[in-house]
Structure formats: structure tokens, C-alpha cells
């Protein structure tokens, strides 16, 4: 009998000893198994907060479309991370996206499971029944000289009489897209947890003025519940063009300290750079970063150190932390048919409001007739 007891004790020890305390993202099965192992060592309350943290990171911390793609991207993002690190990452992502959630706060998002529920729940807080979606806009952050510098966009789920639906404890993925003349200008995500959702804020200085036609934008909001996706577009919303950043302000493009006309300048365009000039690529990259169009910024690069778009746009370790840029100067250091070096000085402000002056040397290479950023060095 003692022999069997000893065997059982050894088996239990081996089972416990094999549990993982960090994420294994080598496969989806390994990812889910490691998450389950990590959760099993937490208290019931911590397990709920852990699942909420994973949901925050899956919804807002990765750039992917579709549930499977989001899970694969999340597995790569969390590879080797332990519970405290995952909580810290979720706190940062929630703060940067204006989500009212913290890892040390009470449960607020309902019962989250990024891998899908195995059994049906008695009550699903995200199964909100509504007849439609409404959008209200109002100017905010009014300056005495420039006027309003931002626009608050408030979506509401409504019944067939247009009255707001009363609910709480949900975690409805809400997406806002801003268009002008049919072209996507910007997009952002948030979580609608109740009918007091504060919505989104469109800051006019972050809108590229060269992409806004007739001083108006179209705003599309999508809200996903368990059973249905609600979508509403508000057309022709006016923006305060006085508060918008001009597309080339305050960029100064020059080849040398001298402002004398040279043979490299085009008299028909008053010195405007040709499309093949490597400085144009750097200027486009910085303008897209400033307007938070990270996908467009990534597309003008071919830098192996930046890796995938998910790594490039990561809100904690990548360019996703950039709120705005103020470019001071862009100059060419050297250019050949295949390679170029461009220097740029600019002030960068992160999403915490901290501003730093940086001097960067961009290395570029000619890829099929287009300049791509292949190297990035902060001097």
C-alpha cells in the first residue's frame, strides 16, 4: 500500500513540476496550455483579472484581423512573459487607449476567455440587444484664438425609439474610422463597458490637412456584441481647419547651408524635391508617424531590425508609443544609385505627454526604384 501511495505522490509532484510559469508561444496548443497553467496558480479573483488582461492585449495590443490571427499575434507578443509582465503590458495598453481598466482594480469586463467559451454561460454581459446605434459629436478643448481643437465622438446603443440601452459590465469592442472623400484617415479602438461610454476624441492637430477635403470628415463607428455587430456613419462632420497641422509644417528640406539655387533644383517647382529623392521617403515616414498612420509609415521601410508590423507598432516598445512629431530639419548626407543616408532632427512627443529632441540618421536602400528605410540610428 505504501508503494502505491509513494508512486501517487511522485506522479503528483511530477505533474505539478511540469506546469509552466511563462507563455509558450511556439504553437497555439502550447500557448493555450501555458496560459491555463499560469492561470491555475492564481486566486479566483486574479484569474478573472488575468483573463481581462489577455483580452485587452488581444483586442488592442496586436495588429491583426480575425480571431485566429489575433491569437497568433498575441502568442508571439507574449512569448516568455510571466503573469506580472502580462499585467504590466495590459495596464500600459489600457492607459494608452483610454480604457478604464487596471490590473489591480476590481473585475470590470465580465467573464473573458480569449480562446472562446467551452460551455455556455448562464449570463453573457456582451449579449446586448439593441435596435441600432447613434453617434453624437461635440467640439471640445476650445482655444480662445483657434477655437475647438478636438471633437468628441460618443456612440450609443439605442432601442427602436432612439433611447439609450441601459447595460453595464460589458466589454464591447468599439471601432471608430475617420474618412474624407472615401479615403481612410485614421482609426482607433476602445471598449464600451456601459451606457456611460465616453467615446473617442479626434484631435484636429493629428489630422493631416492635405487629406481632409472641404473641411469635413465622415465618422464610422462599429460596436460588436455577442449576437450582432452594429454600424453607423455620420457624414459631413465639420472640422476646425485652423487647429489642424499643415502637411509640411514645419519641415525644412535643404541639401546644404547655402540657399543659393543649384543645378539640383527644379525651377518649375521652386526647388521641390523629385519623387525619387530619399528625403521624400523620410519626410513621408515622419509625417505618417505624426498622424499615427503606423501602417503607412511601416510600408516605406525595409528594416530587418524593426521586424514585423506588430513589433514596429507595439505601443510599449515600438512606434505605437508616438503621439506626435514636430520635424525641424531634413538633410541628405550621401546618395548613390543604391544607397542613401539622410539626417533628420525633430521633437517627438509620446502618449504620456513627454517630449524629447532627437537627431536621427536614416539609412535607405533603393528597392525597385523606390527608397526604403533600411537603417535607423539615434545620434
Question: pLDDT, tens digit, for every residue of 308-360?
Answer: 888 888 887 788 888 888 888 888 888 888 889 999 998 888 887 778 788 89
In a domain, 234, yes or no: yes
Same domain membership, residue 69 and residue 49: yes
Rounded to whole angstroms, what are the CA distances from 106 to 100, 124, 253?
11, 18, 52
Classify the C-alpha dihedral 156-226-113-76 as positive or negative: negative
Same domain membership, residue 223 and residue 302: no
DSSP, res 274? P
Q: Which of 39-48, 102-111, 136-145, 243-252 has the highest mean predicted lDDT (pLDDT)?
A: 136-145
pLDDT band at 260 (very low <50, low <70, confident <90, very high): very low
In a domain, 89, yes or no: yes
In a domain, 120, yes or no: no
> CA-to-CA distance for 184 and 39, rounded, in angstroms?
40
Beta-carbon contacts of residue 152 (< 8 Å; ≥ 6 apart): 137, 138, 139, 140, 198, 199, 200, 201, 202
> CA-to-CA distance for 1 and 273, rounded, in angstroms?
88
pLDDT tens profile 65-118: 777 788 888 988 999 999 999 999 988 888 887 777 788 877 766 556 666 543
Same domain membership, residue 258 and residue 239: no
> CA-to-CA distance for 196 and 207, rounded, in angstroms?
27
Which of 48, 80, 96 is the endpoint of a domain? Answer: 96
Q: What is the pLDDT of the chain when averaged over all its residues?
A: 79
> CA-to-CA distance for 344 and 43, rounded, in angstroms?
51
Region 250-274: mean pLDDT is 38
Indicate if the pLDDT at residue 233 is higher than 80. Answer: yes
pLDDT tens profile 4-28: 444 444 444 444 446 788 988 888 8
Helices (H), 67-216: 67-78, 83-96
The pLDDT score that the predictor gives to residue 349 is: 85
* Structural domain harbouring 147: 132-243
Nearest to 365 by CA among 342, 344, 338, 341: 338
The percent of residues above 90 in pLDDT, for the chain, comes to: 16
pLDDT tens profile 286-308: 988 888 888 889 989 988 888 88
In a domain, 225, yes or no: yes
Q: At residue 205, what are phi and psi to the nearest 5 degrees?
A: -65, -20
Q: What CATH number does the domain containing 214 carry? A: 2.60.40.1930
3-state SS class at 283: helix
Higher pLDDT, residue 361 or 5? 361
Same domain membership, residue 264 and residue 238: no
Judge whether 174 and 193 are in contact, CB under 8 Å: no
Judge whether 329 and 252 are in contact, CB under 8 Å: yes
In a domain, 114, yes or no: no
Strand positions, DSSP E, the chain: 132-143, 147-158, 172-180, 183-192, 200-203, 216-224, 229-238, 253-254, 322-335, 339-350, 355-367, 370-378
Count Cβ atoms below 10 Å from residue 130 Cβ, excluding itself.
18
The pLDDT score that the predictor gives to residue 276 is: 66
Of how many residues is the chain composed?
Answer: 379
Q: At residue 307, what are phi and psi to the nearest 5 degrees?
A: 65, -140
Which of 180, 208, 243 is the endpoint of a domain? Answer: 243
Indicate if the pLDDT at residue 194 is higher than 90. Answer: no
Judge whether 86 and 80 are in contact, CB under 8 Å: no
In a domain, 117, yes or no: no
Region 153-180: mean pLDDT is 89
In a domain, 159, yes or no: yes
User: What is the pTM for the complete model shown?
Assistant: 0.46
In a domain, 166, yes or no: yes
Nearest to 51 by CA among 129, 108, 92: 108
Q: What CATH number does the domain containing 317 carry? A: 3.10.450.100
Strand positions, DSSP E, 82-182: 132-143, 147-158, 172-180
Count Cβ atoms below 10 Å from residue 190 Cβ, excluding itself.
22
Judge whether 344 and 329 are in contact, CB under 8 Å: yes
Which of 190, 225, 243 is the endpoint of a domain? Answer: 243
Same domain membership, residue 89 and residue 6: yes
The pLDDT score that the predictor gives to residue 86 is: 92
Number of domains in the chain: 3
Nearest to 48 by CA among 125, 154, 140: 125
Indicate if the pLDDT at residue 168 is higher than 70. Answer: yes
Amino acid at each position: 500500500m505504501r508503494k502505491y501511495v509513494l508512486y501517487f505522490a511522485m506522479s503528483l509532484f511530477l505533474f505539478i513540476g511540469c506546469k509552466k510559469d511563462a507563455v509558450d508561444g511556439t504553437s497555439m496548443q502550447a500557448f493555450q496550455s501555458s496560459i491555463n497553467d499560469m492561470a491555475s496558480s492564481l486566486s479566483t479573483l486574479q484569474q478573472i483579472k488575468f483573463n481581462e488582461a489577455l483580452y485587452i492585449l488581444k483586442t488592442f495590443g496586436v495588429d491583426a484581423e480575425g480571431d485566429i490571427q489575433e491569437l497568433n499575434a498575441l502568442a508571439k507578443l507574449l512569448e516568455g512573459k510571466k503573469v506580472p509582465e502580462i499585467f504590466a503590458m495590459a495596464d500600459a495598453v489600457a492607459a494608452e487607449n483610454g480604457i478604464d481598466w487596471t490590473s489591480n482594480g476590481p473585475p470590470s469586463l465580465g467573464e473573458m476567455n480569449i480562446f472562446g467559451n467551452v460551455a455556455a454561460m448562464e449570463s453573457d454581459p456582451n449579449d446586448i440587444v439593441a435596435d441600432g446605434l447613434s453617434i453624437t459629436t461635440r467640439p471640445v478643448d476650445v482655444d480662445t484664438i483657434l477655437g475647438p481643437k478636438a471633437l468628441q465622438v460618443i456612440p450609443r446603443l439605442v432601442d427602436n425609439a432612439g433611447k439609450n440601452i441601459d447595460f453595464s459590465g460589458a466589454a464591447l469592442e468599439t471601432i471608430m474610422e475617420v474618412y474624407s472623400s472615401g479615403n481612410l484617415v485614421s482609426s482607433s479602438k476602445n471598449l464600451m463597458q456601459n451606457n456611460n461610454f465616453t467615446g473617442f476624441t479626434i484631435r484636429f492637430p493629428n489630422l493631416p490637412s492635405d487629406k481632409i477635403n472641404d473641411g469635413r470628415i465622415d465618422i464610422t463607428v462599429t460596436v460588436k456584441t455577442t449576437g450582432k455587430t452594429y454600424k453607423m456613419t455620420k457624414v459631413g462632420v465639420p472640422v476646425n481647419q485652423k487647429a489642424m497641422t499643415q502637411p509640411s509644417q514645419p519641415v525644412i528640406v535643404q541639401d546644404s547651408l547655402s540657399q543659393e539655387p543649384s543645378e539640383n533644383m527644379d525651377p518649375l517647382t521652386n526647388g521641390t524635391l523629385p519623387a525619387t529623392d530619399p528625403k521624400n521617403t523620410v519626410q513621408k515616414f515622419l509625417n505618417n508617424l505624426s498622424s499615427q498612420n503606423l501602417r503607412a509609415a511601416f510600408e516605406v521601410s525595409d528594416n530587418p531590425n524593426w521586424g514585423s508590423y506588430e513589433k514596429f507598432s507595439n505601443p510599449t516598445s515600438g512606434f505605437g508609443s508616438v503621439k506626435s512629431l514636430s520635424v525641424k530639419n531634413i538633410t541628405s548626407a550621401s546618395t548613390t544609385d543604391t544607397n542613401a543616408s539622410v539626417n533628420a532632427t525633430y521633437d517627438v512627443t509620446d502618449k504620456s505627454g513627454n517630449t524629447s529632441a532627437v537627431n536621427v540618421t536614416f539609412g535607405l536602400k533603393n528597392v525597385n526604384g523606390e527608397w526604403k528605410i533600411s537603417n535607423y540610428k539615434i545620434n
